[in-house]
Amino acid sequence: MQLLPKKNGYKMQSFQTRNLSQELSIELNCYGANEYTKVSFPVKYGIFSRLETCDYIFEFNLNHEIRHAKSKKRTWLHPSEWIKRTMGDDWVYYSTGGYSGVFEALGEYYLPNLTYPTNSLLGGKPFEETEIDDIARNWHEVISQLPDTGMPVEFSQWIQSIQQQSPEKLQKKAQKLFEISGSRVTVMPPDARHVDYNIIPLNISDGCLYKCRFCKVKNKKNFSTRSEQNIQQQIIQLKQLLNKDLINFNALFLGEHDALNAHCDLILTTIQDAFDAFEFQSSYMKKNFLFMFGSVDSFLNAGKIFFKTLNHLPFQTFINLGLESYDQSTLDLLGKPLTQKQVGQAFEKVQIINDTFSNIEITCNFVMDESLPDSHYEALMTLIRESVNRTKPKGCIYLSPLKFGCPSRQVLYDFYKLKSQSRFPTFLYLIQRL
């Protein structure tokens, strides 16, 4: 056993055993990276514990819940790839995509491959690979067979604790997460990629304003805001749910589909309350991030004082707007009840906010599909190329393929063409749930 330095109250400890029947290595409270970075090799964030057997590497959060796994067998697709279990209890396979344009397409070096239908244009079906399917299904069986004797007490206790976090228990915990806010996060903002989608979801509102015909993530709820009491209750319950692992979080997502349409006082008070309650000032992870969705109406209605106040909060804030198209015939085709003029006004204001406030980035979504008229792409070009005369470092444009489960070479080709002409950082929007 090796004793390592103690930080943040978590003592790093490691233990190895090697005998004929079982090779085992345990590292408790590893200190991963404390700042989200974009690099082309696997980085693990936060404080976590690692268990390595002859065949597998498993990682667990501070609540003893599995969060990453990979196989060491030769049949594993790639040594730098792994699976991650999300807070909503989905397994996601992180692939390098063979480094074939994943970073250019997504702004990240790793491509999340999901187990449910989405609008991804890249990647394959890794969960159909035996080795990946096997580890996602049977990880608990593997750790259930581990010995918990013949080692110092802290290690045997830790093994017992990870064994107790069974798939059934983790599934129930995910269910509890959805119950706290009253629904599952069916779509995360694309900007959540900056924190590897490790967000705390807090609903200050429900529903959205437009109920666009094309949208696959909407619900039937008319837009409404939550009461302060309801928000406080969610904060308390989320804190209990995250428990010891709270220290690994530094990002808040204000839900649901148009949090920006809530009253500005409610937004600002909630941000401050969440910052205090989730103890973001003492998070292991550096910097704090805030994500929310907005709509053309809520964004145009938001005043300068609101953005000024937001800019002074201890967060890097990302607000994602679904503009979809700057072409009236396409807006009508999509069933988005907006005019081209409103979209143009919103885009103009986006530039002002992005140029004025260093801690705020407004990002915009536009749709892509082979079936859309040329006028959609021509109008898009006037916004993302002709409206500015130089390359902009912020104000990401996300292009979102309309169809789910339908990767198309043509749409991917169109994306790269648009990206090469855009004067804004331009990426694909991969729709993911939490």
The yes or no reply on residue 203 touching ligand SF4 (CB under 6 A) is no
Distance separating alpha carbons of residues 369 and 16, to the nearest angstrom: 54
The yes or no reply on residue 218 touching ligand SF4 (CB under 6 A) is yes
Side chain identity, residue 317 = T
Residues that bind ligand SF4 (rule: CB under 6 A) add up to a total of 11
Comparing CB distances to ligand SF4, the nearer of 25 and 400 is: 400
The yes or no reply on residue 211 touching ligand SF4 (CB under 6 A) is yes
Nearest to 53 by CA among 95, 81, 16: 16
Report the nearest approach of ligand SF4 to the CB of residue 219 (Å).
Answer: 8
Cis peptide before 256, with omega less than 30 degrees from 0? yes
- Pick from 322, 367, 427, 434 the residue near ligand SF4 by CB under 6 A: 322
The answer to whether residues 339 and 328 touch, using CB atoms and an 8 Å cutoff, is yes
- Pick from 257, 310, 350, 376 the residue near ligand SF4 by CB under 6 A: 257
The yes or no reply on residue 212 touching ligand SF4 (CB under 6 A) is yes
- Pick from 95, 261, 283, 295 the residue near ligand SF4 by CB under 6 A: 295
Burial of 35-53, coded b for 16+ CB within 10 Å and e otherwise, reads ebeeeeeeebbbbbbbbbb
Distance separating alpha carbons of residues 70 and 79, to the nearest angstrom: 8
At a CB cut-off of 8 Å and minimum separation 6, what does 152 contact? 1, 15
Site string for ligand SF4, 59-98 (x = CB under 6 A): ----------------------------------------
Report the nearest approach of ligand SF4 to the CB of residue 212 (Å).
Answer: 3
Report the nearest approach of ligand SF4 to the CB of residue 422 (Å).
Answer: 21
Instruction: Give the interface segment with ligand SF4, choosing from 34-42, 188-196, 204-212, 311-319 (CB under 6 A).
Output: 204-212
The yes or no reply on residue 142 touching ligand SF4 (CB under 6 A) is no
The answer to whether residues 152 and 209 touch, using CB atoms and an 8 Å cutoff, is no
Distance separating alpha carbons of residues 185 and 217, to the nearest angstrom: 9
Distance separating alpha carbons of residues 68 and 162, to the nearest angstrom: 13
Comparing CB distances to ligand SF4, the nearer of 217 and 236 is: 217
Tokens representing residue 29 in the block: 């409270």
Report the nearest approach of ligand SF4 to the CB of residue 322 (Å).
Answer: 5
The yes or no reply on residue 337 touching ligand SF4 (CB under 6 A) is no
Distance separating alpha carbons of residues 99 and 105, to the nearest angstrom: 11
Report the nearest approach of ligand SF4 to the CB of residue 372 (Å).
Answer: 15
Report the nearest approach of ligand SF4 to the CB of residue 35 (Å).
Answer: 31
Distance of CA 391 to the CA centre of its chain: 27
Report the nearest approach of ligand SF4 to the CB of residue 203 (Å).
Answer: 14
Give me the residue label for tokens 């969610």. 234
Distance separating alpha carbons of residues 208 and 335, to the nearest angstrom: 14
The yes or no reply on residue 401 touching ligand SF4 (CB under 6 A) is no
Comparing CB distances to ligand SF4, the nearer of 112 and 255 is: 255
DSSP character for 376? H
Residues that bind ligand SF4 (CB under 6 A): 208-212, 215, 217-218, 257, 295, 322
